[in-house]
Amino acid sequence: MTDAPLTPREAEDALAAEYVLGVLDAAERAEVEARIKREPAFAARVADWEDKLSGLNDGFAEAPAPNLLPKIEARLFPKQPGTRRFGLLGWLSGAVVATALSLAAVSVLAPPRLTPVATLATADNRLAYRVTHFGGSLQVTRVAGVPAVAGQVHELWVIAPGANPVSLGLLQDRPLTVAYPVPPAGFVLAVSIEPEGGSPTGAPTGPVILTAEIGA
Lowest mean pLDDT among 109-118, 134-143, 194-203: 109-118
Q: Degrees (nearest 5) of the Cα angle 25, 28, 30?
A: 105
Q: Which pLDDT band holds residue 22 (cuts at 50, 70, 90)?
A: confident
134 found inside a domain: yes
**1 occurs within a structural domain:** no
Terminal CA-to-CA distance of the chain, rounded, Å? 36
Q: Are residues 100 and 139 in the same domain?
A: no
Query: What pLDDT sits at residue 13?
Result: 84
Residue-wise pLDDT tens digits, 94-119: 555 556 555 555 544 455 677 888 99
Which pLDDT band, with edges at 50, 70 and 90, does 19 fall under?
confident
| Residue 187: partners with Cβ closer than 8 Å, 6 or more residues away | 158, 159, 160, 161, 213, 214
Statement to judge: residues 137 and 84 lie in one domain: no
Residue 64 within any structural domain of the chain? no
If asked whether residues 196 and 177 sit together in one domain, one would say yes
Report yes or no on 208 lying in a domain. yes
Which among 186, 133, 188, 113 is positioned nearest to 156, based on CA atoms?
Answer: 188
pLDDT in tens, 58-76: 555 555 656 666 776 676 6
Residue 63 located in a structural domain: no
CATH code of the domain covering residue 173:
2.60.40
In angstroms, the CA 79 to CA 88 distance is: 16
Q: Which of 109-113, 172-176, 197-201, 208-212 has the weakest average pLDDT?
A: 109-113
On whether residue 3 sits in a domain, the answer given is no
**Statement: residue 86 has pLDDT above 50:** no
Three-state SS annotation for the chain: CCCCCCCHHHHHHHHHHHHHHCCCCHHHHHHHHHHHHHCHHHHHHHHHHHHHHHHHHCCCCCCCCCCCHHHHHHHHCCCCCCCCCCHHHHHHHHHHHHHHHHHHHHHHHCCCCCEEEEEEECCCCCCEEEEEEECCEEEEEEEECCCCCCCEEEEEEEECCCCCCEEEEEECCCCEEEECCCCCCCCEEEEEEEECCCCCCCCCCCCEEEEEECCC
Residues 119 and 197 in one domain: yes
Residues 24, 134: Cα–Cα separation, whole Å: 11
- Residue 215: CB partners within 8 Å, gap ≥ 6? 184, 185, 186
Reported confidence tier of residue 91, pLDDT bands at 50, 70, 90: very low
User: Out of 25-39, 45-59, 159-173, which region has the weakest mean confidence (pLDDT)?
Assistant: 45-59
pLDDT range class, residue 89, cuts 50, 70, 90? very low
* Residues 120, 207 within the same domain: yes
**Domain annotation covers residue 33:** yes
Domain identity same for 150 and 134: yes
123 and 207 both lie in a single domain: yes
Same domain, 207 and 149: yes
Task: For residues 127 and 144, give the distance between their C-alpha atoms in angstroms, rounded to a whole number.
Answer: 5
Q: Does 194 lie in the same domain as 128?
A: yes
**52 plus 90 within the same structural domain:** no
Domains: count for the chain: 3
- Tell me what pLDDT residue 93 has: 53
What is the span of the domain harbouring residue 177?
115-213
Contact 209, 181 (CB under 8 A): no
* Judgement on whether residues 94 and 128 belong to the same structural domain of the protein: no
User: Does 124 lie in the same domain as 86?
Assistant: no
